[in-house]
Amino acid sequence: MRILCVEGNKTFRSILEKQLTMEGLSCRFLANGAEGLSAARQIAFDFVCVSMFPDDMQATHFIEELRKIPCYVHTPVVLFTSQYDEQVLTDVLKAGATEVFHRQDLETLITFVRRYLGRYEPLAGSVMYVEDSLVQQQAVSLILRNVGLDVMCVTSAEEAWELFQQNSYDLLIVDVVLTGDMSGIRLVNNVRRLCGDAGDTPILAVSAYDEPSRRIELLNRGANDYVCKPVLQDELIARIRGLIGQKRLLEQVRLEQAKTLHRFEYLDATTDLPNRKMLLQILEQEMARAIKHNYFSALLYVDLNSFRAINDTMGHSVGDQLLRMVAQRLSRIKRREDSLASLGGDDFAMVLSELSEDRQVAADYCRGVADQIQRAMARPFEIDGKLVHSEATVGMVLFPLHQTSSVDVLRQGESAFEQARQESSSRVSFFSREMQRQAEQRFTLQNALRHAVRQQKLEIYYQPIFDPNGQLLSLEALSRWRHNGEMIPPDLFISVAEECGLIHELGDWVISTVAGHLRRWQQLGLPNSFEGVAINISPYQLLQERFSVHLLKRLDELGLRCDLLKIEITENALIANVDRTSVQLARLRDCGIRVSLDDFGIGYSSMSYLQQLPVDQLKIDRSFIWNMHSNPAALAIVQTIITMGQSLSMQVVAEGVETLEQQQQLVSMGCNALQGFFLQIPMTFTDTEAFLKAGQRSQARPQA
């Protein structure tokens, strides 16, 4: 691109020359207008810059004379000036200036020139040109080839259509009036009917008729642009450059979209590591190589122990930063041939490739890497000036052994992690066949429980809670499940429900069932001392953001008074996220629902802030009750909890009372309420109703 600059100010001319030269542009600088016009008549410049006052004439006169030169009719001419007089600028634009720039806006001027530069770069691409006039065909194809395009010329729409389906083109130029059975308009229609990228090929229609109706018809049929005969070289090149540029831009956008889709499909958004889907592909490939070359590889399933508490108390931003820092530390541990993936949340997987042909050697190396991971995770993380502490639990599995797929390997790694989390003091565990058997049993139990919940095959048992005088205070609702003729331990099926997400559905069923029973008992009459029914709430339910709102809405739908319901939560569930759970529980208490802290004494509640929590009742864990006659420490803990509950105006319940001695001791210590097998075992709904009818008639109160 050749640029002519006419500037009388030597200093500004020097600055402009330096800037344009740095852009790699070929420029000729002259001081006065006469020299500029003389140079313009000898050389066809592509771009002209002129100051408002060259040495010998005004810019308006220079531009008017320049426009009289035939090859400068459409050449861009820009004016730079330090004066922004409206009348002067109007005169300059009337004279033929393309644009006006202030001398201080040199960067803007350079940008403007750079954009025009793109119009003169050689074109690249393949063009199909459909024209039945050989003279027109030769003239236009010559223009196209001179600007760098590869041109395929055909004379009929039928031939063009056949070639178009077999080859890829960047542009289709077609005369709308052609000899033969197929017209140019029909060819445009056929192209637009194609699926895929070929159907998006830009089309430039050529016609001898410059009529608005014809142009509108062609554009509606699918042409991107329109040019009339006789075709002007500059106009044709400008339109082709625009169409091919749009196609290139569209291709770039699609490429970026494909990259983005790949990122969403195969990469974790927080850590940029491969996600679960990509990990399964990596495992499949690694299993195939291990089988072929007869060596062992391994999968390490890594979980951060306290991530949920960190995320809930310090915020998701800190949680995300922690995950990225964990990914960095794990990346430094793995070898180049190993792979690291994020499984979502705080779970990571590391694939150790080509460990050894000897199983024991591979296992030893695997354990060594697990130790490195635990040491790396034990070091505090500094985030936003704060030290964040975390530890890791690692489940390990070697393969190929008896796995049939990558899904098996990942499932076994997760089973090993669960084993390490629950039973291993070192929080590291290898997968075993026994674990596989347990995992399969648990999976079977999940399916059976899902069916039982949805078919309402579970039962609600009730265990009474009495005051020191033997009066009925309340009932605790207990979920029971009989499967294949056997009672499944509640701790087992509740944990299974939490794992597979059934706990919310199970919780809704419990509330609905208890509400129905309570409404019936209200009609029969309840004792004056009766305070309501307690239901157990899982930590997974409590951590739901709208748990309290959902519970209150459900009680309203069921027609149950809030003061007849008490919820029991474990000490650890409350402390897991004090801020969120306190808000939820406070909302429930405000509506009349009382809150009981179950298994109190075995968790990690701080006595200093217990008084601030929205809790009405403390239930002493049964282990202290069972041991208080043989263990002075247990007795002291029981007495401390009772005294503390009295000072905080909280009701204290002793659960697990199994002997007369325990009952008498607790009453003498001032315990408000008692619960246990010695007093009454859990009863079915029918037995509970009979119990209420038989033992409480004289104290019954009418329906509220």
Residues 224, 311 within the same domain:
no
Q: Are 118 and 95 in contact (CB under 8 A)?
A: no
Domain that holds residue 508: 445-691
Question: What is the mean predicted confidence (pLDDT) over 2-30?
Answer: 83
Residue 114 shares a structural domain with residue 131:
no
The percent of residues above 90 in pLDDT, for the chain, comes to: 37
* 270 belongs to a structural domain: no
pLDDT at 555 over 80: yes
Crossing angle (nearest 10°) for helices 276-293 and 406-423: 110
Pull the structure tokens for residue 19: 């800037």
Q: Judge if 417 and 479 occupy the same domain.
A: no
**Which pLDDT score is estimated for 462?**
96
User: Are residue 508 and residue 646 in the same domain, yes or no?
Assistant: yes
Is residue 264 in a domain? no
Contacts 24+ apart (CB under 8 A), 182-185: 182/156, 182/157, 182/158, 183/157, 184/130, 184/157, 185/217, 185/218, 185/221
Decide if 699 is inside a domain.
no
Mean residue pLDDT across the chain: 86
Residue 456 has pLDDT above 50, yes or no: yes
CATH of the domain at 95: 3.40.50.2300
Q: What pLDDT score was predicted for residue 26?
A: 79
Same domain membership, residue 583 and residue 660: yes
Q: Is the CB of residue 157 less than 8 Å from the CB of residue 165?
A: no
Domain finish residue from 98, 118, 138: 118
The pLDDT of residue 701 is 33
Rounded Cα distance, 519 and 564, in Å: 10
The answer to the question of residue 698 being in a domain is: no
**Predicted local distance difference test score (pLDDT) of residue 695:** 67
Confidence of residue 575 (pLDDT cuts 50, 70, 90): low
**Residues 458, 600 within the same domain:** yes
Q: Judge whether 439 lies within some domain.
A: no
Mean pLDDT is lowest, of 319-333, 436-450, 535-549, for 436-450
> Using 50, 70 and 90 to split pLDDT, how confident is the model at 605?
low
Same-domain check for residues 341 and 223: no
At how many degrees (to 10) do helices 307-314 and 578-590 cross? 70
Average pLDDT over residues 8-16: 83
In the chain, the amino acid numbered 632 is: P
DSSP class of residue 194?
-
- Which residues have a Cβ under 8 Å from the Cβ of 13 and sit 6 or more positions away? 5, 7, 29, 31
Query: In total, how many domains does the chain have?
Result: 4
Mean pLDDT of 149-166: 92
What is 417-437 written as a DSSP string?
Answer: HHHHHHH-TTSEEE--HHHHH
- Tell me the one-letter amino acid at 138: Q
Same domain? For 521 and 541 the reply is yes
CATH code for the domain in which residue 649 is found: 3.20.20.450
Q: For the purposes of burial, counting CB atoms within 10 Å of the CB of 10, is it exposed (0-12), middle (13-18) or buried (19 or more)?
A: exposed
Same domain, 360 and 384: yes
pLDDT at 700 over 90: no
Question: Residues 256-293: pLDDT tens digits?
Answer: 777 777 777 888 889 989 999 999 999 999 999 999 89
Q: Is residue 701 part of a domain?
A: no
Based on the domain organization, do 682 and 587 belong to the same domain? Answer: yes
Check whether residue 467 and residue 602 sit in a common domain.
yes
- List strands edge to edge, sheet with 296-304: 339-344, 347-356, 296-304, 392-399, 428-430
Residues 472-482 have a mean pLDDT of 95
Q: Which of 233, 259, 285 is the last residue of a domain?
A: 259
Phi/psi-derived region of residue 196, left when phi > 0, alpha when psi is between -120 and 50, beta in every other case: left
Q: Measure the CA–CA gap between 532 and 553, rounded to whole angstroms.
A: 19
Q: What is the CATH number of the domain that holds 395?
A: 3.30.70.270
Q: Higher confidence at residue 525 or residue 302? A: 302
| 685 lies in the same domain as 638 | yes
Specify if 436 maps to a domain: no
Q: Is-contact 681 463, C-beta < 8 A?
A: yes
Average pLDDT over every residue of 335-364: 91
Q: How confident is the model at residue 580 (pLDDT cuts 50, 70, 90)?
A: confident
Out of 404, 431, 458, pick the residue that ends a domain. 431
Q: What pLDDT is recorded for position 699?
A: 38
What number is the average pLDDT over the span 181-185? 88
Q: Confirm whether 696 is domain-assigned.
A: no
